[in-house]
Amino acid sequence: MSHKESYTPEEIARLLKVSKLTVYDLIKKGQLSAFRVGRQMRVDAIELENYKLRGKEVKTDDGSSKQPTPDSSPSSSVVICGQDNSLDILAGELEKQINEMPLRSYTGSLDSLIGLYKGKANIVSTHLFDGDTGTYNIPYVRKLLVSKSFIVIGFIKRIAGFYVAKGNPKSITSWPDLTKKNISIVNREPGAGARILLDEQFRLHDINKLQVAGYEQEMKSHLDIASAIASGKADVGVGIEQVSKLAPVDFIPLIEESYDLVLLKNEENMQLISAVRKILKSKDFQEKLRSLGYNMDNIGEIRWEQ
């Protein structure tokens, strides 16, 4: 590799054959030095080579590891997981509070919660719909973090629904419409909130996902979904209203989802929790989110803690 090259965390994860969260954990602990280009984090090729030469620890999927060298001291960097643009605004405000820019991981809701459980993230966002209760997030957080003390803080509410072609030529308005023979969908990856919403609605409506054309066709973001619909690769996909304004598609609103923040409650995190709640209650911060069209009825409120 050329020393002039640089890599994203995703590319490094593929090179080292580890998960993306492992790479973010290495950056968080100071074992890999990263820099930012706009919103994107990158690591120089020479830094990656030096890391491997130093023989620092990389935990593999089978649980094996090498003993880290003495200089692998942890960093105070904060890792924020989630994809919504509101989190980038939160990261910018948090930088003013802690005097360093938080690291951003763009993983889905379920994987983010698992990362929090494993200590690989500090703040995670979730929008996980539970069909049995008709509510968001709390049922999943309680089950996944059953052995942890945590706090769920209200963040934003946003409208989820269908992206369809301009004019909605196939008259798609409801979940059962996705089973029509002339309809093909594009899906999110497993663990994403939009994927879980779709799967829960299929369960509630007794829809066999194997009979839905395109169910296995996966995209990594709401914008990818909207772009796929705009380009005619599929007829419909699930996403949020804000992103529909960035692509030439129509949006069919279906549900208001709660997009909450989850943090572990421990001595190390108490100052962070306080800083986050202070930011969420700030009128200036709320105005920035309001300009993007978000509902903030319960922003900063504690939805659950244990």
pLDDT tens readout for residues 77-95: 789 999 899 999 999 999 9
What's the confidence (pLDDT) of residue 89? 94
Span 129-163, pLDDT tens digits: 999 999 999 999 999 999 999 999 999 999 999 99
Model confidence band, residue 195 (pLDDT cutoffs 50, 70, 90): very high
Q: Is the pLDDT of residue 1 over 60?
A: no
d(CA 266, CA 125): 18
d(CA 279, CA 287): 12
Please, what is the average pLDDT of the chain? 88
Tell me the percentage of the chain whose pLDDT exceeds 90: 66
User: What's the whole-number mean pLDDT along residues 199-220?
Assistant: 96
Q: Is the pLDDT of residue 76 over 60?
A: no
Q: CB–CB of 108/114 below 8 Å?
A: no
What's the confidence (pLDDT) of residue 65? 44
User: What's at 130, amino acid-wise?
Assistant: D
20 vs 277: which has the higher pLDDT: 277
What's the confidence (pLDDT) of residue 48? 84
What's the confidence (pLDDT) of residue 55? 60
Q: Is the pLDDT of residue 236 over 50?
A: yes
d(CA 119, CA 113): 10
What's the confidence (pLDDT) of residue 297? 93
97 vs 128: which has the higher pLDDT: 128
What's the confidence (pLDDT) of residue 4? 58
Q: Is the pLDDT of residue 213 over 90?
A: yes
d(CA 208, CA 235): 18
Span 198-208, pLDDT tens digits: 999 999 999 99
Q: CB–CB of 194/239 below 8 Å?
A: yes
Model confidence band, residue 34 (pLDDT cutoffs 50, 70, 90): confident
CB atoms inside a 10 Å sphere around CB 89: 15
What's the confidence (pLDDT) of residue 104? 87
